[in-house]
Amino acid sequence: MKKIKWVKWFAIVAILMLLMQACSTGSAGDANEGSKKTENGDGTGGTLVVVRLSDATGLDPHFITDIPSANVVHGKVYETLVAFDKDMKIKPRLATEYKQLDDLTWEFTLQEGVKFHDGTPFNAEAVKITLERLLDPATGSPQKDKLGMISEIIVKDDTHVTIKLSQPYAPLLSILASNEGSIISPKSI
């Protein structure tokens, strides 16, 4: 009787191992295919393989509503005025500094000399156009309510933009540091 139980367990384990092998996607050699040296032996060229659990459903940060898409574009395709550091504290990103003037007013000083991928200069007008697009009901962004307390965006000059709120809103900086706060090239819009 003991021998029969042992044989059954061995058979079950063998079947599970075969099933797991059948579910694999290839050999270990296939996974390293992109890291081979080129003909000249300097290691340049080749293929970069990036493995993700899922692809982005879209690239417009104002319409992204799923985490996998946000993970693909946030900080890799678009930048934000502010960002979280490794200690989860807000720090300037496209802004060089920011300050809260009162409960309803935030002022941002922007980096100079930054350009979007299409060559358009990053400036206060780009911030205004991006945020106004997000807030425009005609755009239909599902992210609109996250920044819906913004009542006015004032461009002082190319490197200074003021955001006025309709009511105090403590999470403003964290939202601006997230995917929803991504600044888009006005030319692309």
Mind listing the pLDDT tens digit for each residue in 132-186?
999 999 999 999 999 999 999 999 999 999 999 999 999 999 999 998 999 999 9
Residue 86 lies in a domain: yes
Number of domains composing the chain: 1
Residue 133 lies in a domain: yes
Residue 36 lies in a domain: no
Range of the domain at 164: 67-181
Gap between the Cα atoms of 147 and 121, Å rounded = 24
Residue 186 lies in a domain: no
Per-position b or e across 2-20, b if 16+ CB within 10 A of its CB: eeeeeeeeeeeeeeeeeee
Residue 62 lies in a domain: no
pLDDT score for 123: 98
Mind listing the pLDDT tens digit for each residue in 44-82?
778 877 776 777 777 888 888 878 777 777 778 889 999
Residue 156 lies in a domain: yes
Query: What pTM value is reported for the model?
Result: 0.71
pLDDT score for 25: 60
pLDDT grade for 32, boundaries at 50, 70 and 90? very low
Gap between the Cα atoms of 185 and 77, Å rounded = 11
Residue 38 lies in a domain: no
**CATH of residue 119:** 3.90.76.10
Residue 123 lies in a domain: yes
